Every structure is written in C-alpha cells, then in structure tokens.
Amino acid sequence: EYFDLLSSVAARWENDGGDRTTALVHFAPYIHIDRVSGKVMQIRYSPKSGGYFPALGDSQQMAKLYAARHRFAQLLDAEEYAVYFRLNKGDLWIFSNLRLLHGRSAFDPNEGSRFFQGAYFDMDAVTGAFFRAKYRIQIENKLAWQEAL
C-alpha cells in the first residue's frame, strides 16, 4: 500500500538554486513507474527541497501517505543499504541523478581539501542527438547499399 501511494500521489518538488535566485517547481510522485514496462524509472527524494504532498480530502489516506513517506525515509537512511566510495585525487564519478540516490559523508577539513564539481546534462538533448545520429547512419548505410547494387 505504501509503494502504491508513493508511486501515484504527486508531490511538489522545488529548488531555489541555493541562493533563492531560481524557482524550479515540479509535481511528480516519489517513485516514477514506467506505464508500459512497470519498472521503476526514477526515485525522487530530498529532505530539503520538496516532496510536499497535496491536501487529500480523506484524513486517513493523508495519514497513510505521511506514514509511507516516513517509512521510505527510514529505508533510505538505513546504514545497511548504504554503499561508500572513496574518491582519490583525479577520480571522476559520473551517475544519473534520476537513477541513483546519493549523498556525502562527513568530512574533516583539517585532513585535507575537498572539491566537488557538479555538472548536468539535458537528457532530452542527449537522447535527441543519439537518435538523429542513428537515423543519419541508417540513411547513409541505405544509400551505400543502394549504390552497391
């Protein structure tokens, strides 16, 4: 029941850019399920920038929704599910924000310096470029095949 609630009720997600110069707002459930395959496609979770539920007319359903979110947060914070990686100087770690829940452990600045650089890809642009290139190659191959005849 918790999974069904978290994958069907849209919450409000927001980000102010950290300095309140931006206003990015998105409405979506905590868990995004692909309607065709039934697979989990995306997990949304942020204790600081969203996940605000709309007011539901049924107070019992609202209580279940908050209980579901609380249980989800407990699972995400459970040490038994955490995986730690230590990056060394020059290491690069690339992952999809949409597919991997991530965070950082505590750091003592007296033990050295720490530098993180984030970068974001517009996946629609990446996917579009892939399909344009694929289509172009298919056309070129078809033309080359026709010329060979």
Q: What is the mean pLDDT of residues 9-19?
A: 83
Confidence band, pLDDT 50/70/90 cuts, at residue 23? confident
For 47-56, write each residue's pLDDT tens digit. Answer: 777 778 888 8
- The four Cα atoms 119, 100, 66, 71 give a dihedral, to 10 degrees, of -140
Contacts 24+ apart (CB under 8 A), 19-26: 26/50
Enumerate residues 6+ apart whose C-beta is below 8 A from 108: none
Question: Rounded distance, CA 100 to CA 83, Å?
Answer: 11
Task: Tell me 30's DSSP state.
Answer: S
Alpha-helical regions (H) of the chain: 2-6, 59-77, 123-148
Statement: residue 104 has pLDDT above 80: no
For 70-98, write each residue's pLDDT tens digit. Answer: 999 999 889 998 888 888 888 888 877 77
For 111-149, write each residue's pLDDT tens digit. Answer: 877 777 777 777 778 888 999 999 999 999 888 888 887
Task: Tell me 51's DSSP state.
Answer: E
Statement: residue 99 has pLDDT above 70: no
Enumerate residues 6+ apart whose C-beta is below 8 A from 41: 32, 33, 34, 98
pTM, full prediction: 0.68
Residue 32, classified by CB atoms within 10 Å of its CB into exposed (0-12), middle (13-18) or buried (19+), is middle
Confidence band, pLDDT 50/70/90 cuts, at residue 39? very high
